[in-house]
Amino acid sequence: RMSLPKITTGSKNLDNLLGGGVEVKTITEFFGEFGSGKTQLCHQLAVNVQLPLEKGGLSRKAVYIDTEGTFRWERIEAMARGLGLDPDKTMENIFYVRAVNSDHQMAVVEELKELIPKEDIGLVVVDSVTGHFRAEYPGRENLAVRQQKLNRHLHQLMSLAELFDVAVVVTNQVMARPDVFYGDPTTAIGGHVLYHAPGVRVQLKKSRGNRRIARIVDAPHLPESEAVFAITEVGIRD
Ligand code: ADP
Ligand code: MG
């Protein structure tokens, strides 16, 4: 695993926790409650993938699949400036798609088989991977079909990761407290989004002010420690 190329998160602490950064050929899931930093991390990685190797990037482009409408070009601009990158060029190298429902989300990923090699994509972001599936197949009564569809989607993403050596980053919003009322394992902390897919799962938690705490869940090859990082005006930092 050590030899796989990785994308820096912008935080040394978080990179160390991840064994160097976000890895290609792998699905990395960031999960946590609202405001825990999932979307900001996705923005930062879409910028950082474009950095040269010696600066922690892959010199490649990004695809950003936004299911919640929370993507902001202004944040990309600020993050690019923060790294001394040309903001316009950085934005040009991000292929943004707003996925309107789960079928669209899956169709978009299907089409990436052509876009990824053509445009030299190194990172595919899906923020969030679960939102549409939860909205369309709500509650415990739809759990089986929702998980089945979600698993199909994750297999799509995993084959992209493996076929094209790309990093896949997905987010999953979970409740601050386990969802005891609905008994739905996909919304609870430690939910089962990547249950059947290989990958790295990272729990994000709010701390004081702009501080956030990351913790790796269920990864025997990575340490069970925590990392503290910050969300700043120019992006993710220590
Ligand atoms: P999630 O996607 O997990 O719900 P976000 O990634 O959207 O959370 O994180 C939101 C947080 O990011 C905000 O609460 C704020 O602290 C921080 N943030 C967003 N934009 C900026 C900015 N321009 N400057 C500094 N911090 C920001
Ligand atoms: Mg978000």
Q: Please report which confidence band the pLDDT of residue 92 belongs to, taking 50, 70 and 90 as the band edges.
A: very high
CA distances from 26 to 6, 76, 144, 158, 215 (A): 10, 24, 25, 7, 17
Ligand that comes closest to the CA of residue 130:
2
Q: Please report which confidence band the pLDDT of residue 175 belongs to, taking 50, 70 and 90 as the band edges.
A: confident
| Stretch (H or E) spanning 161 | helix 143-164
Q: What is the pLDDT of residue 156?
A: 95
User: Average pLDDT of 55-80?
Assistant: 98
Ligand that comes closest to the CA of residue 32:
1
**Closest CA relative to residue 38, chosen from 204, 217, 236, 218:** 204
Three-class SS state of 88: helix
Residue nearest to atom 17 of ligand 1 (CA): 231
Ligand 1 and 34: CB distance under 6 A: yes
Q: What is the pLDDT of residue 143?
A: 86
More confident residue, 218 or 25: 25
Q: What is the pLDDT of residue 139?
A: 81
- Closest ligand 1 atom to the C-alpha of 210? 16
Average the pLDDT over each of 64-68, 145-149, 203-207 and give the range with the smallest value. 145-149
Ligand 1 and 203: CB distance under 6 A: no
Cα 70 to averaged position of ligand 2 atoms, centre (Å): 6
Residue nearest to atom 22 of ligand 1 (CA): 233
Task: Give the rounded distance of the alpha carbon of 172 from its chain centre.
Answer: 9
Average the pLDDT over each of 26-35, 82-91, 179-188 and give the range with the smallest value. 179-188
User: To which residue do tokens 């190797």 refer?
Assistant: 53
Query: Which among 11, 40, 170, 210 is the best mutation to test ligand 1's pocket, defined by most ligand atoms within 8 Å of the CB?
Result: 40
Instruction: Give the percent of the chain with pLDDT over 70.
Output: 89
Q: Please report which confidence band the pLDDT of residue 78 belongs to, taking 50, 70 and 90 as the band edges.
A: very high
Q: Please report which confidence band the pLDDT of residue 231 belongs to, taking 50, 70 and 90 as the band edges.
A: very high
Residue nearest to atom 16 of ligand 1 (CA): 210
Cα 51 to averaged position of ligand 1 atoms, centre (Å): 22
Ligand that comes closest to the CA of residue 33:
1
- Closest ligand 1 atom to the C-alpha of 232? 25
User: Average pLDDT of 51-66?
Assistant: 98
pLDDT at residue 84 above 80?
A: yes
Cα 214 to averaged position of ligand 1 atoms, centre (Å): 15
pTM above 0.90, yes or no: yes
Task: Return d(Cα 106, Cα 54) in angstroms, integer.
Answer: 34
